[in-house]
Amino acid sequence: MRVAFSGCTLPGAEEPLFTVEPGRMALGLGIHGEPGIAESELPTADAVADLLVDGLLSERPPEHREGERRVAVLLNGLGATKYEELYVVHRRVDARLREEGLVPSHPVVGEQVTSLGMAGLSLTLTFLDDELAGLWAAPALAPAFQRGTLSPPPSRTDDLPAPRTAPVEPGTPASRHAAHHLARALRTAAETVAEQEKRLGDIDAVAGDGDHGIGMRRGTEAAARAAEAALEAGAGAKSLLARAGEAWSERAGGTSGALWGAALSAAGRTLGDAEPVTPETAVRAVRAGLDAVLRLGGARPGDKTLVDAAVPFTERLEERLGGRGGGEGPSRHPGPGSGTPESARPDRGPDIPPHTSDTSAAVRTDRGPGTPDHIPGSVGADRGPGAPEDISVAARVDGDVGGPMDGVAEWVSAAEVATRAAEATADITARLGRARTHGDRSLGTPDAGAVSFALIVTAVAKAMSEPEAASGPPAVTGPEALAVPETVPGARAGHGREARSGTATALVEGEENP
């Protein structure tokens, strides 16, 4: 249980994640810097100790009340609280525990787990049995914790093999052409997230730890670099997305990093390294990515997560592109209302919740005063000088590619749906993640994960609408740009791309190595 007298400031941030007014104390904060769930007048040191002890003893397990008296005590400083102050609080903690008939075992007082420069402290009690008591008292030697004496550790060895990424399996010319566009889309996503990093962090700090912007910037940049390196090595769509997903998961960290990494890997397995990518297979890949997120994260629409934007985005794509060519394409996942039971849908595990085709609740626009009309950078927002008023006009590309091409308008439409759905999460209280303990606090603020998803798919829509630079492949736009004959000139690996290093090697747990 934790209390804080000031918030912490992330490196590079201009202000702390939350503030505590002088003479006040925050109670129940998160170790990652999340604000407390309540505030009170600043009490005395003894009153702080009583508050922490009473709160923890109220959760004492019943079996520990019958004879066992030993308890492990850890009084931890959060970064800016002096050791003298910690010992003053510990004096009262120890006295209170003994008044309750408990025997403190090997108490630890000091900074063990800090939250940058936060002023505050936490108290941890572990109710011991014989086994736990022996483990708690055992000698230990670690960079941040030492107890007793241990034999000298063995000499350090540096001959362990470095992790290696499996070599890229060359893709066919058609798949490499698609990979080029995927790498371009990932680079666009990285640039967009970098521009919006601070805002994403500010949104996340309202009811979370404020690091969503940092994590997304690191993840998208790593994914873009890994994709460009894979492209230079001749990767097709599957291999490129697998490398990008690994890099995103490894570098971003956190839940969102793992989910985005899994989504890219799942999408890549749908596309493969041999076949050209059609609008229908592109939609199937998006569905596979969403299914991976639903399976691993367990979120449902209405939980105030990225799923609230990803589900309506995917369903709009399936509605607009999945039925091309005179009815549903043979590879399209049956959508809601198609008459196919949920259990019959391909690649959907039993733990994936049914999704609803009624996304009206997710795209409400009656958000009250003060809610922005558009997420910055989204479709319909101010895109700066030179940007078309309606991005969908770029869906028609004439000239060298042999007439107007379709597909971009459908993606833009889905991105607009995702943007409205992300904005509408301001009306939802969080039910998952760290923000769930601050559900009411999050009202009026959209979910950072949903916002970043909308920003990314909107940026990709804009990239799809712009012809390639002269050094790139032919200026084909939209999902059709991914589909080319096996002998398309200029579709060789890495065409017009600079090779970059930094490919990460970690796979998301549960995802197979492509």
Residue 24 has pLDDT above 60, yes or no: yes
Residue 474 has pLDDT above 80, yes or no: no
Q: Are 460 and 483 in contact (CB under 8 A)?
A: no
Please compute the mean of the pLDDT values over residues 103-116 and round it to a whole number. Answer: 90
Instruction: Identify which of 144, 222, 139, 200 has the alpha carbon closest to the alpha carbon of residue 10.
Output: 200
90 — pLDDT class (breaks 50, 70, 90) = very high
**Residue 485: how many other CB atoms lie within 10 Å:** 11
**Residue found by looking up tokens 């006009």 in the block:** 393
Q: Quick check: is 32 catalytic? A: yes
Pick the more confident residue, 116 or 220: 220
Query: What pLDDT, on a 0 to 100 scale, did the predictor assign at position 194?
Result: 94
Residue 498 has pLDDT above 70, yes or no: no
Pick the more confident residue, 95 or 164: 95
Instruction: Given the residues 32, 64, 106, 495, select the one marked as catalytic.
Output: 32
Residue 354 has pLDDT above 50, yes or no: no
Query: What pLDDT, on a 0 to 100 scale, did the predictor assign at position 373?
Result: 42
Pick the more confident residue, 184 or 363: 184
Q: What's 257-305 look like in SS3? A: HHHHHHHHHHHHHHHCCCCCCCHHHHHHHHHHHHHHHHHHHCCCCCCCC
Residue 478 has pLDDT above 60, yes or no: no
Retrieve residue 326's tokens. Answer: 């005179």
State how far the Cα of 477 lies from the Cα of 407, in Å rounded to an integer: 8
Please compute the mean of the pLDDT values over residues 266-271 and round it to a whole number. Answer: 95
48 — pLDDT class (breaks 50, 70, 90) = very high
CA separation, residue 317 to residues 281, 345, 406 (Å): 11, 17, 13
Structure confidence by residue, pLDDT tens digits, 131-157: 999 999 999 988 878 898 887 766 766
Least confident segment among 71-75, 85-89, 492-496: 492-496
Query: What pLDDT, on a 0 to 100 scale, did the predictor assign at position 427?
Result: 87
State percent of the chain over pLDDT 90: 40
Please compute the mean of the pLDDT values over residues 424-445 and round it to a whole number. Answer: 69
68 — pLDDT class (breaks 50, 70, 90) = confident
CA trace torsion 450, 454, 180, 325 (10° rounding): 110
Instruction: Identify which of 292, 230, 137, 293 has the alpha carbon closest to the alpha carbon of residue 503.
Output: 230
State how far the Cα of 183 lies from the Cα of 164, in Å rounded to an integer: 22
State how far the Cα of 209 lies from the Cα of 199, in Å rounded to an integer: 13
390 — pLDDT class (breaks 50, 70, 90) = very low
Instruction: Identify which of 172, 111, 167 has the alpha carbon closest to the alpha carbon of residue 144.
Output: 111
Q: Maximum CA pair distance of the chain?
A: 86
Structure confidence by residue, pLDDT tens digits, 283-298: 999 999 999 999 998 8
Q: Are 506 and 249 in contact (CB under 8 A)?
A: yes
DSSP-derived secondary structure for 305-342: STHHHHHHHHHHHHHHHTTTTTS--TTPPP-TTSS--G
Query: What pLDDT, on a 0 to 100 scale, did the predictor assign at position 152?
Result: 74
Q: Are 108 and 88 in contact (CB under 8 A)?
A: no
pLDDT, the chain, mean: 74
Instruction: Identify which of 247, 225, 222 has the alpha carbon closest to the alpha carbon of residue 498.
Output: 225
Please compute the mean of the pLDDT values over residues 332-338 and round it to a whole number. Answer: 33
